[in-house]
Amino acid sequence: MRWLVCVVMLVGTAYAQPSPPAMDFDHDRDTKMPLVGAHRVACIRCHPRNEFATTKPECTTCHTAPPHQSRMFEKRACELCHSPTLKTFAAVRFDHDQTKFPLLGGGHRVGCERCHTKTIGSGLPPMKCESCHPAPSPHGKRFDKVPGGCASCHAGSTWKSVNAFSHVKQTKFALVGKHAEIKCSACHRGADFERVQTGCKECHAHATVHADEDHPNGRYTTAQCTNCHGTTHHDPRPPSLSVFHGPQSPFPLTKGHRSVPCVDCHTDRNTRGKMVFEGISMECGERCHADVAHEGVLGAKCTQCHVSGVWEALKFEHVTYPLEGAHRDAACAACHGTDKKFKGAPRRCADAACHARDDAHGGALGTTCDRCHLANGDNRFSHTISAKFKLDGKHLAVPCEDCHPSKSFKPRPMACFGCHPDPRAHFGKYGTRCERCHTTNAWR
């Protein structure tokens, strides 16, 4: 057994080979073709016969069957579209947006072969929509002569979008208001988008709305529709109402009237049950505002006193009895009572409805209060003009109540002794004619 082990050891020593030296070769450093991405493969994939010096760095050295043979990319560098950093050979990095035909939206984001077919050969595909979207056109020949073709209406982002079409530039009919919200097919019947008349009655039924016995086909012309109706709302609303209810109209809608629905005032109906707009009385009290406040005493012309659209605001002017001073601040009911009849109101201050209850003089001075009092609350009584006792000197600064303790004011003595009893200085020796020695400027 020992001899068998020795034989094996001798045989192993005879056949043992030394390990190959480590390869000091860096493909990225020592060649003109760095190995990146998908190129990092086994050496034999590119050097099948261990011929390392003769391998060329061109793509076609390994990719011997180029997919674009006899096509437009045959003479162009593969790196224009392909890169070893991409995961697959089918993936490309070509930026189509740098060409004369940028790919917009999802509609054009398709495979290259969808447009670059084999039948095109080495040339460029035409940039017309019909090249990829062949006949028959869903619109027939309706738009054959339109400049720009399909692109004048359709955008590349989606086939159904027609945002590129300018209705105002290409048809002279601007779409505003509600017209801008409806579909094209609402006015253009069928796929060929036949031309339509721009009159309102071409789309909007007129006879069923404004017809009557005398006008079975409607009483208004197409040109009159816009006098009442606008494009923002089917119902008559501003600014269309400016013709009939504008500032220059016989009945302008102001303040509260602007928010009132038409049917609240236009209550009459024709034989078909439609609203009537003509022959409507413009007086407030005849059809809209029941005169529950004045019970018809003041007539039907409410606007003589009330501001249109603001029931609480008044514009009545007191022509025969001008309101001055504090009278301007007084409530109407203060003089006219709460029955709101207004006519027959008293005009004198001391009448029962006004200042009879607060007559501080108890009626002693009569009813001509304005001889002494002004409407603003000031006094205008002149002692010199209206009384027989002239106020001068020290008397001018004396308060009224010092001489007139009672607000009836009458009667009062005019002699000095009426206010100045005999002073102790004279003890009645000189009588009562004080003015013989004294003046009103100074007692002494």
The residue among 89, 93, 65, 91 whose CA lies nearest residue 80 is 93
Domain parsing of the chain, residue ranges:
400-444
Going by pLDDT thresholds of 50, 70 and 90, the confidence category of residue 8 is: very low
Tell me the average pLDDT of the chain.
Answer: 76
What pLDDT is attached to residue 7?
46
What pLDDT is attached to residue 105?
65
Mean pLDDT confidence for 170-199: 78
In angstroms, the CA 432 to CA 420 distance is 10
Residue 80 has pLDDT above 50, yes or no: yes
Residue 86 has pLDDT above 70, yes or no: yes
**What are the tokens at 61?**
């050295």
Residue 84 has pLDDT above 50, yes or no: yes
Q: 146-178: per-residue pLDDT in tens?
A: 777 787 787 766 677 776 677 887 777 888 888
> Percentage of the chain surpassing pLDDT 70?
81
Q: Which residue has the higher pLDDT, 312 or 362?
A: 362
Determine contact, residues 340/291, Cβ cutoff 8 Å.
no
In angstroms, the CA 188 to CA 195 distance is 7
Q: 226-239: per-residue pLDDT in tens?
A: 777 777 765 555 55
Q: 15-32: per-residue pLDDT in tens?
A: 555 666 667 788 888 888
Mean pLDDT confidence for 190-202: 72
Burial 387-398 (b: 16+ CB within 10 A, else e): eeeeeeeeeeee
Mean pLDDT confidence for 204-230: 76
Q: 351-408: per-residue pLDDT in tens?
A: 766 777 778 787 778 788 888 888 888 888 888 887 888 888 899 888 888 888 887 7
Determine contact, residues 159/150, Cβ cutoff 8 Å.
no
- Indicate the burial class of 82 (C-beta count within 10 angstroms; 0-12, 13-18, 19 or more): buried
Q: 98-140: per-residue pLDDT in tens?
A: 888 888 766 566 777 777 776 666 667 777 777 777 777 777 7
Burial 354-379 (b: 16+ CB within 10 A, else e): bbeeebeeeeebeeebeeebeeeeee
Q: With the C-alpha atoms ordered 321, 324, 326, 329, is the resulting torsion angle positive or negative?
A: positive
Name the pTM for this structure. 0.38
Highest mean pLDDT among 80-94, 101-115, 295-309: 80-94
Q: 252-277: per-residue pLDDT in tens?
A: 888 888 888 888 888 888 777 777 77
Mean pLDDT confidence for 83-91: 80
Determine contact, residues 64/58, Cβ cutoff 8 Å.
no
Task: Scan for tokens 């439609």, then name that residue.
Answer: 274
As a residue count, the chain comes to 444
Q: Is the peptide bond before 138 cis (omega within 30 degrees of 0)?
A: no
In angstroms, the CA 44 to CA 369 distance is 130
